Amino acid sequence: MIHYISNDVLILEHIESILTNDVKLKLSEEAIINVQKCNAFLSQDISEQFKEKDINNQYFLLKSYACGIGETISDEVVKLMLFLKIQSLCYGFSGVRLEIVERLLDFFNNNILPVVYSKNTPDDRIALAHLSLPLIGEGEVRINGKVFSTCELEAKFGWKPIQLRNKEAEALLGGTQLTTAYGACNLIKALKLCKISDFISSISVQVFGINSLFFSEQVQIVRPHKGQIQTADSIRNLMNSNKLNINKVVSSSAPEAFCAIPQVHGAVKDTIAYVRKIIKTEINSTTDNLLVFPEKKQVIFGGNSHTLPLSLGLDFLSIALTSLGNISERRIFYLISTLSTQNNEENLAMFLNFTVLQRITEGILAENKRLSVPVSVESPIFTEKMTDIKGMGGSSAVKCYEVIKNIEQILAIELLIVALIIFNEKSQYDSEIIKKYIKYLDFDTNKQDLKKYIEKILLFFRENEIV
């Protein structure tokens, strides 16, 4: 599959396709003209004007920012950073030579991923410096999980280090590609988590014996938040297509962890929709600070690398997703509580196992509450005079990524509990989806390895569509 870099508007589905499919990038004629026209103006008219900014000393400028530490960033985020940097440069406001873009394109198409570190400044510069080091013959890259020095890479592909010229280091260092890449990945995962959460909830409410009237259309229509209406529709459809024949006394009242599923899940979906608009704007933007406008023969220093629009949205997303974990944990609590009141010996044994799972869930929730504290309100003081107010986008994005991994674990535990209850009670069901999960988990009544089951569910979440 080939994706042409152009001025066409990108949406989240394009990003997901690029991440999940073997997509190769090519430059459109439009992109080539954009890059060449901007660079031609810059090369002719700018050197003297910006001499005092020392933008010709590009090699040392790029190297000076390459000081990231900590664990390396995941391949999916680095690959998306590469794509977004190529896209941004090709709008024709950055001034780089076509050679720079083509080398980045070679990295992407050959799955050569620069090694980028997770501990960075609150903006994206350090991460982008590591992303760009292989262009100048420095740094390390990862190919199919193995790390190589850039020297080894150049020998293998016959490449030579690129000598950076006017403003090229500024163009490579400037931008929000780290935060935006994380943000797009977070959104894709968050949308999937909402589907997973709706599906699991539709099973949990039946196992617990919840009146389906809580999800009726007339309840939602008098408070018509879009996400709430969507969730109630989803729960009704899922309950109809995944019916369980369980002898439960259906009550006219219920804990809010069950009866308020449309309201809570819906609020999360509305938050995702808000953040999605921010990410869409960002992936279609040029986010350099130093911008070149060849048509008007201007070079303007602005603030487009500031990450506050992203960090505000991603902090909000972390808070919303933590709420998705909170309501799941409460459902887990009530499901386990029903087992403790039964005299069935098997159910009591299962109850003891499940109480351990709830403790794990509470620990994960505690971590999520810490991660959900907004960092967008922070603004560390730097020694650089011009860096006086920070957006904290990288920090917001990374912690949101961790929140999502934690929510996956909580939902896996809820699904495991309802699946085990259904299996042990020998409940009757016609649902192909439930049959698939029960078969996939391959329960052994003599040896219930809960850790193994959770890992299998997490793997299934990541590799398959839930419904």
pLDDT digits (tens, 9 = 90+) for 280-322: 999 999 999 999 999 999 999 999 999 999 999 999 999 999 9
Q: 250: pLDDT confidence band, cut at 50, 70 and 90? A: low
Domain boundary among 139, 174, 209: 174
In a domain, 15, yes or no: yes
Query: Given this model, what pLDDT does residue 249 score?
Result: 55
Question: Between residues 325 and 427, which one has the greater pLDDT?
Answer: 325
Q: Rounded mean pLDDT of 30-55?
A: 77
Domain containing 213: what range? 181-288+306-463
What pLDDT is stored for residue 439 in this prediction? Answer: 81
330 located within any domain: yes
For the segment 178-215, what is each residue's pLDDT rounded down to a tens digit? 999 999 999 999 999 999 999 999 999 998 988 899 99
334 and 397 co-located in one domain:
yes
Is residue 294 assigned to a domain? no
| pLDDT tens-digit series, residues 413-436 | 999 999 888 887 766 666 777 777
Q: Residue 390's pLDDT is what? A: 77
Q: Is the pLDDT of residue 53 over 60?
A: no
Q: Which residue has the higher pLDDT, 169 or 339?
A: 169
**Residue corresponding to tokens 């977004």:** 84
What CATH number should be reported for the domain holding residue 53?
Answer: 1.10.275.10
170 and 185 part of one domain: no
Confidence at 49, pLDDT banded by 50, 70, 90:
low
Mean pLDDT computed over 424-450: 74
Please say which residue of 156, 174, 192 terminates a domain: 174
Which pLDDT score, from 0 to 100, does residue 460 have?
82
- Give 57's pLDDT tier (boundaries 50, 70, 90): confident
CATH number at residue 190: 1.20.200.10
Is 295 inside any structural domain? no
**Average of per-residue pLDDT values in the chain:** 89
Q: Are residues 109 and 168 in the same domain?
A: yes
For residues 199 and 271, state if they share a domain. yes
